[in-house]
Amino acid sequence: MTPAREMGSTRIGWLQGLALPLDWSESKLKYIVPGMQAGEAITADSIESTGTYPVYGGNGLRGYTEAKTHQGTCILIGRQGALCGNVHLVSGDFWASEHAIVARPTATVEARWLAYLLQVMNLGQYSQTAAQPGIGTAQLNTLAVPVPPFQEQRAIADYLDRETARIDTLIDEEQHLIKLLRERRTAVIAHATSNGAQVELRRVIETIRQGWSPTCESWPADGLSEWGVLKVGCANTGRFDPAENKRLPDDEAPRPEFAVRRGELVMSRSNTKDLVGAAAVVDGDYPRLLLSDLTYAISLTVDADPSFVAYALASPSMRVQISAASKGMSHSMQKISQRDIRELVVKLPAVDEQRRLADHLDEQTAKISQLIEETERFIELARERRVALIAAAVTGQIDVREVA
């Protein structure tokens, strides 16, 4: 067995509270990755879906082109926007765009080890601007890093390649399970809403109301003591989410006539192609939650159960109708009109049967949703485990020579 590792005192600022192994050194990033610089600009027209050389930006592969800027093994660090601080290890001949900083380690540094180290250093925190986050080589060069002996760098990289691959495989399997569960949910809804007389939705609609969109705060109101304006995402999941709102500023006069009412269907008027027309039943009293200009509130006649109609609107056959009726200049912003909603064709059995089917769907979809939530939590824990494992290995808190 490998002898227990001797640990020294804490020496590096961003590793406060940790002791590094005595045989490790410390360095500035610029000494192990000299000459870091941004990639070269490339136009979107020059990037194709296929080609000779891959084009990498701040978040990995963007496409292909017929020229190259670099070759060999490099680490690319996102330098702008939301991708600021992202880390990717690339090899071969490639084009690095201006959105990435190219870091080529010295021959005495294992590139895979360094990529893992940079991933857990949260480089985005060194961004210097708020409106458009950005990071430059000047900030990166001065960062202190722990440096194990070269052979241990390689051992750490081998260990992390193996262990993170296992975790990634597990995450992929769980994500596939979520996909299957969502397909199962869709199939259950499709089956339960496939019978009944075909009628245009106008036959069971009493009123359709549309709201108003003032400038709001960025945080939600409770909808009871505070006024809030609903966001289009309040119906995305098929369950009404009152927390999906923005608080109305105190100096903005509320408009109570736009408050949602228990039993109404709230529907998104404008959203992505997949989510426009998503609907959910308001299942509580929220006297200070107001409709926005991008949401509808639909009241139905006694011949239609709101919960059943909400499920029907989520069925594949009706999603096809909604998708065909929605209009917009881009896939990310589609709108559906009141007229188009009234012309949607829905299958409606007798109202008592609608209620029975809605109760059945409530029970079945709740079970599926619980399984999805548990699986998503498992994935979250696996990702946390992945980060913790990398952090422990690259800072010497676990001796990979022993665990190997």
Q: Mind listing the pLDDT tens digit for each residue in 326-340?
A: 998 887 789 999 999
- On whether residue 314 sits in a domain, the answer given is yes
The predicted pLDDT at position 129 comes to 66
Closest CA to 146 of 277, 298, 22: 22
CA distance 113 to 153: 6
| 8 A C-beta contact, residue 266 and residue 230 | yes
pLDDT (tens digit, 9 = 90+) per residue, 146-201? 999 999 999 999 999 999 999 999 999 999 999 999 999 999 999 999 999 999 99
Q: How far is residue 283 CA from its own chain's centroid?
A: 27
In 3-state terms the chain splits into helix, strand, coil percentages (rounded to 5) of: 40, 25, 40
What does the block give as tokens for 203?
A: 């036959």
Domain count, the chain: 1
- On whether residue 43 sits in a domain, the answer given is no
Domain of 223 in residue numbering reads as 198-345
- On whether residue 8 sits in a domain, the answer given is no
CA distance 357 to 180: 22
Closest CA to 160 of 4, 388, 6, 378: 388
Q: What residues of the chain score a pLDDT lower than 50?
A: 1-3
Q: Where are the alpha helices (DSSP H) in 245-333?
A: 306-313, 316-325
The predicted pLDDT at position 1 comes to 41
CA distance 164 to 21: 23
- On whether residue 214 sits in a domain, the answer given is yes
- On whether residue 359 sits in a domain, the answer given is no
Residues contacting residue 330 through CB under 8 Å, at least 6 positions apart: none
- On whether residue 231 sits in a domain, the answer given is yes
CA distance 167 to 390: 12
The radius of gyration of the chain's CA atoms, rounded to the nearest angstrom, is 27
- On whether residue 220 sits in a domain, the answer given is yes
- The enclosing domain of 219 has a CATH number of 3.90.220.20
- On whether residue 108 sits in a domain, the answer given is no
CA distance 88 to 164: 15
Whole-model pTM: value is 0.83
The predicted pLDDT at position 371 comes to 98
- Produce one character per residue of 238-274: b if its CB has 16 or more CB atoms within 10 Å, e if not: bebbbebbbbbeeeeeeeeebbbeeebbbbbbbbbbe
